[in-house]
Amino acid sequence: MRRLLAANWKMHLYAEQALTLTQQLRAAWEAPELRTLPGIVFPPALYLRELAMQLAGSSIALGAQNGYPGEFGAFTGEISMAQLAAAGATWVLVGHSERRQYFGENAELLRKKVQDAQARSLSVLYCVGETLAEREAGRTLFRLQTQLQEVLSENIIDWNRLAIAYEPVWAIGTGINATPDQAQEAHAYLRMQLAQLGAPADQIPILYGGSLKPDNAYALFSQPDIDGGLVGGASLSADSFLAIAQAHLQTKPL
Ligand code: PGA
């Protein structure tokens, strides 16, 4: 099933706020229609254990925003994929542009993260996207192809535990979303590239991210290859995240 809606809270919210927001989402997701839409919440790792208890039995899964390959080791400040899984995460984000940009994460590290996460039975939401300079230079599709090939090929243990997020860097947190046509072009291309890597591309969720809001969600989700969203800023309030979820239900009924 390709439908999927994810909330990336980034480095936001205190514990009580995270708990309240989780409770609101969980309550809303009890509605029969919303139950059919698999959700994922990516909170700061500090809250994973508590939120895992809050979300037990719901159709909202829990994910980590980052993880380090391995189980234990002398890596001060890091949290391993194995520890995240033990804390209740079933997903992990890999390759978010903020990790690439501010923390210098390169293809070699991302490859290890994807492989180790899957080996520890986490599903991976792998993020790709071009910068504004790359788009203006006409290199968007080439960039996307590179980001898929250098990290995913020969590295995937289980294609069923992979989703892709297309997040143009110039759209993240800027209030400028990709147009539905721009996003659809990128998503269709990503799906074709996944097929070339040997993936069951028709079954892999490809989410759009980058200033996704209640007022643009409907048009974006109306595109055939946009299966859902990875929502940053607009996921920090239940009202706006639920409005985006409603747009999803309207455009992609079961
Ligand atoms: P945004 O972030 O919705 O705030 O643009 C999306 C993301 O980075 O995942």
Residue-wise pLDDT tens digits, 33-87: 999 999 999 999 999 999 999 999 999 999 999 999 999 999 999 999 999 999 9
Give me the count of residues in the chain: 254
The verdict on the CB of residue 8 being under 6 Å from ligand 1 is yes
Quick one: which atom of ligand 1 is closest to the CA of 174?
Answer: 5
pLDDT at 196 over 90: yes
Separation of alpha carbons 174 and 111, rounded Å: 28
In tens, the pLDDT along 173-188 reads 999 999 999 999 999 9
Catalytic residues: 96, 167
Secondary structure class of 91 (helix, strand, coil): strand
CB of 67 shorter than 6 A to ligand 1: no
In terms of Cα–Cα distance, which of 23, 226, 204 is closest to 247? 226
Q: Output the CA 210–ligand 1 centroid distance in Å.
A: 5
Distance 8 CA to ligand 1 centre (A): 7
Rounded Cα–Cα distance for residues 221 and 198 (Å) = 26
- Report the nearest-CA residue for atom 6 of ligand 1: 232
Top mutation candidate among 12, 98, 211 for ligand 1, by most atoms within 8 Å of CB: 211
DSSP letters for 92-145? EEES-HHHHHHS---HHHHHHHHHHHHHTT-EEEEEE---HHHHHTT-HHHHHH
- Looking from the CA of 81 toward its CB, the CA atoms found within 13 Å total 21
d(CA 157, CA 129): 23
Predicted confidence band at 154 (pLDDT cuts at 50, 70, 90)? confident
Is the Cβ atom of 51 under 6 angstroms away from ligand 1? no
Cα distances from 22 to residues 36, 52, 75, 141, in angstroms, run 18, 10, 30, 36
Q: What is the mean pLDDT of residues 185-193?
A: 98
How confident is the model over 212-229, as a mean pLDDT? 98
Burial (CB count within 10 angstroms: exposed 0-12, middle 13-18, buried 19+), residue 24: middle
> Does residue 172 have its Cβ closer than 6 Å to ligand 1?
yes
Residue 254: pLDDT over 90: no
**Residues 204-213: tens digit of each pLDDT:** 999 999 999 9
Q: Is the CB of 216 under 6 A from ligand 1?
A: no
With contact defined as beta carbons under 8 Å apart, do 177 and 171 qualify?
A: yes
**Other Cβ atoms closer than 10 A to 141:** 16
Q: Do residues 96 and 65 touch, judged by C-beta distance below 8 A?
A: yes
Q: Are 172 and 214 in contact (CB under 8 A)?
A: no
DSSP H helix total and E strand total for the chain: 11, 8
Residues 6+ apart with CB under 8 A from 121: 85, 90, 161
> Does residue 233 line the site of ligand 1, with CB under 6 A?
yes
The reported pLDDT for the residue numbered 147 is 98
The residues pairing with 209 across neighbouring beta strands, listed in sequence order, are 230
Indicate the top mutation candidate among 207, 212, 236 to test ligand 1's pocket, ranked by most ligand atoms within 8 A of CB: 212
Question: If one looks up domain 4-251 in CATH, what number appears?
Answer: 3.20.20.70
Atom of ligand 1 nearest to the CA of 234: 3
Write out pLDDT tens, residues 74-126: 999 999 999 999 999 999 999 999 999 999 999 999 999 999 999 999 999 99
Domain edges within the chain: 4-251
Phi-psi region of 39 (alpha: psi -120 to 50; beta: other; left: phi over 0): beta
